[in-house]
């Protein structure tokens, strides 16, 4: 198995749908920060490229001006490839093209057509971390082409996410990780539930609200208010539900509030690629009740660190809430420490990068011409 034996200089290219710190990028924002931290702790050089207005105090940051990209979640299978007049996505990748010779590897976090299309035109190798499952025919086609032409360069978070693509066998699941020192274990919760995420239809918030109404247990909601009409429809549909919108909080504040919850409720209508908030919850000792769909099914140990229920079943959520006393909060924290530390994620990332180098060598380019000879068998 190939291993890295020298530190790399890596350029991370963020999502173009919003500045880092805004919450518009959803879980990708947390993923970028944690990957940067995991790699820098191992001596790799890290710089991040992100839309103007981004906040990232821990790492060198290049802010790029331009119009934000539309998110892909609700565009439909036949959505066309689009760019605004002054696209921040194109501007970010133009910058990357100019500076590519300063780096050993570019790491792409954008779930968008353009970075995949540009891959063959770069001298520097590009690793793509795909943050969502199959959403459009155009994206499936271009990701599949890159995965075939550049073996091992396409990674996903979970096998469930990979299986949404017709080329699932070419996707490398690498999970995710956290700086667990930032997440405080809370052994004695308060008497309320939590829900965290972008407030948008694909997240299924109305089911969590319906469950709160049926149980009479308070539900606190955190996240960016991405779709205001959707939120107002929920409020109109459940006017007497014991819910409160607590706004969008940065990680250090969110974990303090999340840790007090009796459980985190996850109600996605779509296949979540991973579910960072499930990982964050168990790190605080909070059990997770989630639909048996997508990434959370590979995070939650049913009956031990939470409950997996039939997708779209409010009654299933209610029944799981009634069984929360069966979950040991210490077991939740222990699972996070075993599977989702920065060290564990760093191991997976370095193995991925080394295998990219190995695949590139087999295509006819010597390893010493790529990554500066920094990979060995």
- What is the structure's pLDDT at 331? 97
Distance in Å from the first CA to the final CA of the chain = 6
Is 47 buried (19+), middle (13-18) or exposed (0-12) by CB count in 10 A?
Answer: middle
Q: Are strands 375-376 and 3-4 parallel, antiparallel or unpaired?
A: antiparallel
Angle, CA of 220, 202 and 49, to the nearest 5°: 90
Contacts of 280 (CB under 8 A, 6+ apart): 30, 178, 183, 196, 251, 254, 255, 258
Q: CA-CA distance, 154 to 356, in Å (whole number)?
A: 9
Per-residue confidence in pLDDT tens, the chain, 377 aa = 667 778 999 999 999 999 999 988 888 999 999 999 999 999 999 999 999 999 988 899 999 999 999 887 767 899 999 999 999 999 999 999 999 999 999 999 999 999 999 999 999 999 999 999 999 999 999 999 999 999 999 999 999 999 999 999 999 999 999 999 999 999 999 999 999 998 999 899 999 999 999 999 999 999 999 899 999 999 999 999 999 999 999 888 999 999 999 999 999 988 888 888 999 999 999 999 999 998 899 999 999 999 999 999 999 999 999 999 999 999 999 999 999 999 999 999 999 999 987 666 555 543 334 344 443 33
Q: What is the pLDDT of residues 170-218, one digit of tens each?
A: 999 999 999 999 999 999 999 999 999 989 998 999 999 999 999 999 9
Query: Do 352 and 155 contact (CB within 8 A), yes or no?
Result: yes
Q: What per-residue confidence (pLDDT) applies to 57? A: 82
Q: Rounded to an integer, what distance in angstroms lies between the CA atom of residue 235 and that of residue 242?
A: 11
CB 249 within 8 A of CB 148: no
d(CA 300, CA 251): 21
| Burial profile 332-369: b = 16 or more Cβ within 10 angstroms, e = fewer | bbbbbeebbbbebbbebbbbbbbbbbbebbeeeeebee
Contact 309, 288 (CB under 8 A): no
106 forms beta bridges with 11, 126
Whether the Cβ atoms of residue 134 and residue 161 lie closer than 8 Å to each other: no
Give pLDDT, residue 274: 86
| 247 and 241 Cβ atoms separated by less than 8 Å | no
Q: What share of the chain is helix, strand, coil (3-state, %, to 5)?
A: 40, 15, 40
CB 84 within 8 A of CB 113: no
Alpha-carbon gap, residue 208 to 242, rounded angstroms: 11
DSSP 218-264: EEEEES----HHHHHHHHHH-TTS-EEE-----HHHHHHHHTT-SEE
Cα–chain center distance at 12: 14
Pairing of β 263-266 and β 243-245: unpaired
Bridge partners of 105? 10
pLDDT score for 363: 54
Joined tokens for residue 322: 């009634």
pLDDT at 23: 86
| Cα–Cα distance, 1 to 5 (Å, whole number) | 13
Closest by CA position to 261, among listed 244, 273, 238:
244
Predicted local distance difference test score (pLDDT) of residue 309: 97
Structure tokens at 33: 């920060």
8 token code pair: 């790399």
Spatial separation of the C-alpha atoms in residues 155 and 147, rounded to whole Å: 9
């Amino acid at each position: 198995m190939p291993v890295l034996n020298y530190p790399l200089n890596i350029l991370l290219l963020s999502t173009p749908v919003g500045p880092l710190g805004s919450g518009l990028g959803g879980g990708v924002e947390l993923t970028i920060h944690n990957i940067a931290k995991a790699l820098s702790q191992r001596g790799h050089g890290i710089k991040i490229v992100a839309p103007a207005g981004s906040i990232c105090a821990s790492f060198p940051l290049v802010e790029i001006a331009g119009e934000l990209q539309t998110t892909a979640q609700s565009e439909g299978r036949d959505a066309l490839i689009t760019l605004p007049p002054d696209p921040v996505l194109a501007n970010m990748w133009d910058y990357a093209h100019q500076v590519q010779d300063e780096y050993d590897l570019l790491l792409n976090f954008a779930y968008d057509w353009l970075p995949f299309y540009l891959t063959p035109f770069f001298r520097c190798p590009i690793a793509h971390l795909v943050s969502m499952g199959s959403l459009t025919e155009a994206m499936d086609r271009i990701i599949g082409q890159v995965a075939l032409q550049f073996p091992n360069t396409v990674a996903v978070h979970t096998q469930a996410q990979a299986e949404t693509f017709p080329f699932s066998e070419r996707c490398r699941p690498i999970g995710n990780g956290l700086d667990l020192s930032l997440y405080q274990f809370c052994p004695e919760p308060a008497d309320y539930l939590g829900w965290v995420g972008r407030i948008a239809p694909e997240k299924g918030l109305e089911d969590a609200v319906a469950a709160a109404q049926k149980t009479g247990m308070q539900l606190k909601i955190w996240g960016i208010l991405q779709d205001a009409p959707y939120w107002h429809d929920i409020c109109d549909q459940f006017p007497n539900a014991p819910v409160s919108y607590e706004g969008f909080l940065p990680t250090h504040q969110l974990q303090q509030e999340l840790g007090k919850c009796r459980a985190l409720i996850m109600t996605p209508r779509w296949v979540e690629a991973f579910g960072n908030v499930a990982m964050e919850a168990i790190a605080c000792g909070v059990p997770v009740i989630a639909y048996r769909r997508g990434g959370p099914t590979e995070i939650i140990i049913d009956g031990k660190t939470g409950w997996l229920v039939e997708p779209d079943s409010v009654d299933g959520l209610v029944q799981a809430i009634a069984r929360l006393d069966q979950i040991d909060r210490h077991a939740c924290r222990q699972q996070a420490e075993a599977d989702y530390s920065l060290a564990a994620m760093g191991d997976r990332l370095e193995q991925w990068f080394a295998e990219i180098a190995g695949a590139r060598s087999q295509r006819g380019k010597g390893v010493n011409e790529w990554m500066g000879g920094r990979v060995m068998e």
